[in-house]
Structure 1
Amino acid sequence: MHPWLHFKTITKHKLMVMGYCFRIGLYKQGLLHDLSKYSPAEFLVGCRYYQGDRSPNNAEREATGVSTAWLHHKGRNKHHYEHWVDYSLDDSHVIMGAPMPRKYIAEMVMDRISASRTYMGDAYTCQAPLQYYLKSKNKLWFVHPKTKRDLEALLRILSDHGEEKALHYIKNVYLRK
């Protein structure tokens, strides 16, 4: 059990996301981001599976076959595309992704930047969030195509043009459409 280290990690991440959200004008989302990580359902699991260099949810999943903390988390945090899964009305899929509102896609980008910075430390580059996304892109059949398109486009702006230009674009163009 590593309660203090886990608390420091999730708080560092939360404060970083809050700072980024404030920079793009998402003040309420910045304040409320990831508060469920402090709930017993997520915090205690995080303490038990804490490793410091990756999400404890992956360690829980490896140890037990499922991450109960993740199931709790994604159901309460709209900046995860897994939150936006619903039943399909046609026969093409049993479940399908619903389109995410832009403000949650923008928060997701801030979350990915902050998670990469938190876990990678000095090894972080602006390419890291896109590389992380591309590793799992082919498995994301349940994510709405518009959500995938927008997320990848924003991560490519970050990767190709840097953080300042990406944040400027998100705040002044993407969120104003």
Structure 2
Amino acid sequence: MKLINHLKTINKHKYYVTMLCFKCGLYKQGLLHDLSKYSPTELKTGAKYWVGTRSPNSIERETIGYSTAWLHHKGRNKHHWEYWVDFSREGVVPAKMPTRYVVEMFCDRVAATMVYRGENFDVSAPLDYYNKTHGYYVIHQETDAMIKDMLVHLSKSNLEETIDYIKETYL
């Protein structure tokens, strides 16, 4: 039953992201978003740790110290800032994300908040989560400014106005 519930959760998330990406004109990214979640590596973790109110990857990380599903996921999905982190002799180096992936990251964050918060969703929630978790990000300065600008705009307006703003300002 957990597998079925997990599939419902990821399907709902994927639907929201697809609709948001389509509104931004990112049709291909909307269709291809998070397909790796249906792979055995990610699906197994999702089914095992599903609770419906937060990511199974977080629960796996708390349980065993890391998340096999997340390691798989972030290496295949360019809308995650972690995909764009490299290592060099100078240390950990964040690369600047292409704008279309930053916009997809915005859509992903909004959709995740919509799924996990349900009726309690409000436009400031994605920014609140971003601010709460930002302390450990290794994200390029320009990428960080761009995603934060989008989330701040959302927190001060609504989704439709923010999508219009993103299209006018970034796409």
Shorter-chain TM-score bucket reads over 0.9
| Letter paired with 2:163 | L
Tell me, yes or no, if structure 1 residue 119 matches structure 2 residue 122.
no
Same amino acid, percent of matched pairs: 50
Deviation at 1:15, TM superposition (A): 0.8
- Once residues 3 and 170 of structure 1 are traced to their aligned partners in structure 2, the CA distance between those partners, rounded to angstroms, is 35
| Letter paired with 1:134 | N
| Pairing partner for 1:135 from 128, 132, 138 | 132
Deviation at 1:165, TM superposition (A): 1.0
- Partner residue in 2 for 1:77: 77
3-state SS in 1 of match to 2:86: strand
Deviation at 1:161, TM superposition (A): 1.5
Could you give the per-residue CA deviations for residues 8-33 of structure 1, whole angstroms, max 9, x where no partner exists?
Answer: 00000001100000001000000000
> In the TM superposition, what are the counterparts of 1:1-177 in structure 2 within 5 Å?
2-88=2-88, 91=90, 94-140=91-137, 142-175=138-171
3-state SS in 1 of match to 2:17: helix
- Once residues 155 and 37 of structure 1 are traced to their aligned partners in structure 2, the CA distance between those partners, rounded to angstroms, is 25
For structure 2, which runs of at least 5 residues remain unmatched after alignment?
Answer: none
> Which structure 1 residue ranges, 4+ long, deviate > 4 Å from structure 2?
none
Could you give the per-residue CA deviations for residues 19-56 of structure 1, whole angstroms, max 9, x where no partner exists?
Answer: 00000100000000000000000001100000000000
Q: CA RMSD in A?
A: 1.0
| Letter paired with 1:149 | A
Deviation at 1:2, TM superposition (A): 0.5
Deviation at 1:173, TM superposition (A): 2.2
| Letter paired with 1:35 | L
**Matched residues, number:** 171
| Letter paired with 1:152 | K
